[in-house]
Amino acid sequence: MAATILVADDDEFIRLYLKKRLTGQGYTVISAVDGAEAFTLAQEHLPDVIVSDWMMPNIDGIELCHKIKADSRLRFSYFIFLTARDKQDDKISSMNEGADDYLAKPFQDKELLARINVGVRITALQKELMAYQHQRAITELAVTIGHEINNPLGIMMLTLQVMNKRLHAQNMNELPKDIETCLANGRRVAEIVKKLCSLSDPHFKPYLHDSRVDMIDLT
């Protein structure tokens, strides 16, 4: 799937030129005339790279950068300033404000393409890392649930089997004790579920000694 590039610039020539040039490189390109439109389009398309002018109406590039980096779905979009402001202080300021790269106008076509390519690669790596972390979190949760719930659930199932045999044998004397065993282990399962639902800052421990798989520590 082609990477998506968002171009935000109030100069129509720049927008048209970059759209033609980047489309020719195989990228999907969307464009905006100012920061406000750019942020709306970014939320809709989740671009891999954003190439933005600094001076734009409604919302300028700095404010756009702030909004992008503050959005949980957009904060890893690679943000490149492409602007006529070429003083060293401007470059430092833009980086301090959250931009990932900076290129002054007039720009070298090949240099801009190279920087965009770098941004696409970095964004792709971040997506891979996030997917890995998501998969690991699912694995750790599954291991935790399996480990913590397996014991009380096993006891409950065994007790119910014993109760079933006693019912068929008309042996009712031990049923109250069996019922209490089931209730106690049911409460254990309920407590485990309650802890899982209330987790806000989970800690982890190895599932087995020398294991690479962790589980959530519910102690």
Closest CA to 71 of 31, 29, 41: 41
Q: Residue 155 contacts by C-beta under 8 Å, 6 or more apart in sequence? A: 181, 185
Query: Which pLDDT belongs to residue 157?
Result: 76
Owner of token pair 């065993």: 181
Q: Write down the pTM of the prediction.
A: 0.62
- Per DSSP (E only), the strands in the chain are 4-8, 28-32, 49-52, 78-83, 101-104, 204-206, 214-216
Q: What is the CATH number of the domain that holds 87?
A: 3.40.50.2300
Indicate whether 152 and 100 sit together in one domain.
Answer: no
Owner of token pair 């997917």: 131
| Residues counted in the chain | 219
Domains contained in the chain, number: 2
Query: Which pLDDT belongs to residue 4?
Result: 94
Locate all alpha helices (DSSP H) within 46-108, ordered by sequence. 61-70, 88-96
Q: What is the DSSP letter of 97?
A: T
Give domain status of residue 123, yes or no: no
Which of 107, 142, 160 terminates a domain? The answer is 107
Which of 44, 74, 107 terminates a domain? The answer is 107
Indicate whether 153 and 209 sit together in one domain.
Answer: yes
pLDDT tens digits for 103-157? 888 888 899 999 999 999 988 888 777 767 666 766 666 666 666 777 777 777 7
Per-residue confidence band for 77, with pLDDT thresholds at 50, 70 and 90:
very high
Query: Which pLDDT belongs to residue 49?
Result: 96
Indicate whether 87 and 158 sit together in one domain.
Answer: no
pLDDT tens digits for 162-212? 777 777 777 677 777 877 887 787 777 777 777 666 666 666 666 566 656
> Domain residues for 147?
132-216
Indicate whether 88 and 163 sit together in one domain.
Answer: no
Indicate whether 208 and 146 sit together in one domain.
Answer: yes
In whole angstroms, what is the distance from residue 189 CA to residue 116 CA?
51
Indicate whether 28 and 87 sit together in one domain.
Answer: yes
Indicate whether 137 and 212 sit together in one domain.
Answer: yes
